[in-house]
């Protein structure tokens, strides 16, 4: 089988700029699926399998890094900016705070919240309906029923909000290289 690395990179860049896209591509003998995902500026290095569910949000995902051996992110999940996801599983209706790190084999169960700046060690399980935070992540409290019902509503609201501002992000390109070349040809300092 041919090396799909360049194709995967090109398709990922296309996905990052195309909201609401759904497709599958082969990646070195594996399948990569992207659902209704909106993000900007994320780095996703594919070495195996990534699954994104419906309305998976990477909020202002500047320098969000996902390194996969197998990373599963289900529907109505909100992942904060500057987070690192490494071979982990995030079940439906969860919130991952910004600057959080989820290490190999960690599991965030349904309707859970991880506070900003938290580090989930390898193999740690965040049980359903709980709020965790810290380094390493520790149990803080059980979420109320009202709080768990608001998690998918928050994901939908952020999805709509990101759609409103999506046009403000420039598409990925190398046009700046042509501009620099043109300026040099005119004798303008770059």
Judge if the upstream peptide bond of residue 34 is cis by omega within 30 degrees of 0.
no
Averaged pLDDT, 41-60: 47
Give the tens place of pLDDT for each residue, 17-29: 333 333 333 344 3
CA distance 85 to 44: 10
Closest Cα to residue 33, out of 18, 57, 50? 50
What is the rounded CA–CA span in Å between residue 114 and residue 100?
8
CA pair distance 110, 39, nearest whole angstrom: 22
Residue given tokens 């309305």 in the structure block: 55
Residue-wise pLDDT tens digits, 148-186: 999 999 888 888 887 777 777 666 677 778 888 888 999
Given pLDDT bands bounded at 50, 70 and 90, which one contains residue 80? confident
pLDDT, residue 121, reads: 95
Token pair belonging to 142: 């059980």
At which residue do the structure tokens 């084999």 appear?
105
> Quick one: pLDDT at residue 149?
95
Grade residue 31 by pLDDT with cuts at 50, 70 and 90: very low
**Domains in the chain, start-ordered, CATH in brackets?**
5-186 (2.160.10.10)
Instruction: Check residue 18 and give its pLDDT.
Output: 39
Give the rounded percent of residues in the chain with a pLDDT score beyond 70: 61
Cα–Cα dist 18/27, whole Å: 20
Say which DSSP state 83 is in: -
**Pair type for strands 130-133 and 138-142:** antiparallel
Q: pTM of the predicted model, to two decimals? A: 0.61
């Amino acid at each position: 089988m041919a090396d799909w690395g360049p194709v995967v990179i090109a398709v990922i860049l296309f996905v990052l700029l195309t909201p609401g896209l759904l497709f599958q591509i082969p990646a070195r003998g594996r399948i990569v699926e992207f659902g209704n995902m909106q993000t900007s500026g994320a780095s996703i290095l594919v070495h195996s399998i990534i699954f994104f569910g419906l309305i998976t949000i990477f909020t202002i995902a500047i320098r969000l890094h996902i390194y996969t051996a197998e990373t599963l992110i289900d529907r109505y999940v909100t992942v904060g900016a500057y987070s690192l996801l490494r071979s982990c599983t995030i079940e439906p209706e969860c919130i991952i705070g910004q600057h959080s790190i989820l290490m190999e084999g960690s599991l965030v169960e349904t309707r859970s919240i991880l506070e900003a700046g938290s580090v989930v060690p390898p193999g740690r399980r965040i049980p359903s309906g709980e709020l965790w935070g810290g380094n390493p992540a520790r149990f803080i409290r059980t979420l109320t029923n009202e709080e768990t019902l608001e998690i998918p509503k928050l994901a939908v609201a952020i999805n709509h909000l990101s759609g409103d501002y999506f046009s403000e992000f420039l598409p990925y390109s190398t046009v700046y290289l042509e501009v620099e070349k043109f300026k040099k040809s005119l004798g303008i300092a770059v």
